[in-house]
Amino acid sequence: MKSMAPELNLIGPGGYVWPKPEWSIFPVVEGLQWHVQMVGDASLPPLLLLHGTGSASHSWEGLASLLHSRYSLIIPDLPGHGRTGDPGDAGLSLNGMSRRLRSLLDYLKVEPLEVWGNSAGAAIACKMTIDDLIHPERIVAINGALLPPAGMPLHIFTPIAKFLALLPFVPHVFARHARDTEAVNSLISGTGSKLNQEGLALYKALMSSPGHCAAALRMMAHWDLASLEQELPLLKTPIDLLVGQKDRTIPPSEVFRIQQLIPHAKIVSLACLGHLAHEEDPAACLAAALLHAPEYKVRSFNEHSSFQKTHQLASSTLSVVKSLK
């Protein structure tokens, strides 16, 4: 039986539709209906972009517009999120999502050359690589949620998340609350990021869906970052850690704990951006991601003068990182 996607209001207050509908496909893989946005010539290097908990593929629209002339982009809504169906609790765990994504890539006949992930999306990228489900040349983690939450012991956090996920009325309460524009604005500003009105309206549409809220809660309830923390030293793939210094979701200082586990990881600081840095300033994030990219990739982007200024901006942020060490 096919697992259908949650209903979403795809028309924003300004009358626009969900971003880039011409990029969207809806494959059904092992009974799960996916929403995937794909753009860029198939002959170009494949790049997999993974959003974080509670978000959706729209999160990458700005960066995708800059990347699709150099990469073939695969941008899925994660299971239970956006317009992808709900796979059940097992499919919302870190292991479950990783294996569902592998099945999707098999269906699409794609092997990503690189994976870029925001928040929980970075954790999935690392887990899939450690488990030999993918073999990327590089991972880019934008405010990657790779460690258990700081400040609350797991033996407290996990039962609370599981308890909330079990209460059927809780997602409806969240969804009703999200119909208040100010509540959504407050939630996003709580990440340290500042989004434009269209970006805020898209999050309002997502969070107004009880199905989307329920999946995000159940994902948090079944997420096992303690095990990933133990496995991170096994990661040998080059990884760039882009860190928004205004991130209020994950303390920026956590990146140094990650680097202790992955000594070869390279850190790039984004001095004025928050948790959703790639949505706030896609060009600055691209420039930061190019700092440690193979030289041929930097050259291909620098053919366009619009990238030269942002590349210089990102280069200057390295001194911020060094001063924090």
Question: Which CATH number is 122's domain given?
Answer: 3.40.50.1820
Residue of 159, 156, 121 lying closest to 142 (CA atoms) = 121
In a domain, 214, yes or no: no
In a domain, 167, yes or no: no
What pLDDT does residue 300 have? 61
The parent domain of residue 124 ranges over: 21-151+227-324
**In sequence order, what are the residues at sequence separation of 6 or more whose Cβ sits closer than 8 angstroms to the Cβ of residue 81?**
51, 54, 55, 56, 206, 212, 215, 216
What pLDDT does residue 138 have? 97
In a domain, 288, yes or no: yes
The tally of domains found in the chain comes to: 1
Residue of 24, 29, 50, 2 lying closest to 109 (CA atoms) = 29
Residue position matching structure tokens 């690589």: 129
Distance separating alpha carbons of residues 194 and 19, to the nearest angstrom:
19
Quick one: tokens of 288?
């930061």
In a domain, 206, yes or no: no
In a domain, 221, yes or no: no
In a domain, 300, yes or no: yes
pLDDT tens for the chain, 325 residues long, are: 455 555 555 544 344 467 899 999 999 999 999 999 999 999 999 999 999 999 999 999 999 999 999 999 999 999 999 999 999 989 999 999 999 999 999 999 999 999 999 999 999 999 999 999 999 999 999 999 999 976 554 444 444 444 344 444 445 445 666 567 787 888 899 999 999 998 998 988 888 888 888 888 889 888 899 999 999 999 999 999 999 999 999 999 999 999 999 999 999 999 999 999 999 999 999 999 998 877 656 556 655 544 454 455 544 444 334 334 4
Distance separating alpha carbons of residues 240 and 285, to the nearest angstrom:
11
In a domain, 94, yes or no: yes
In a domain, 161, yes or no: no
What pLDDT does residue 293 have? 79
What pLDDT does residue 178 have? 58
What is the value of pTM for the model shown? 0.87
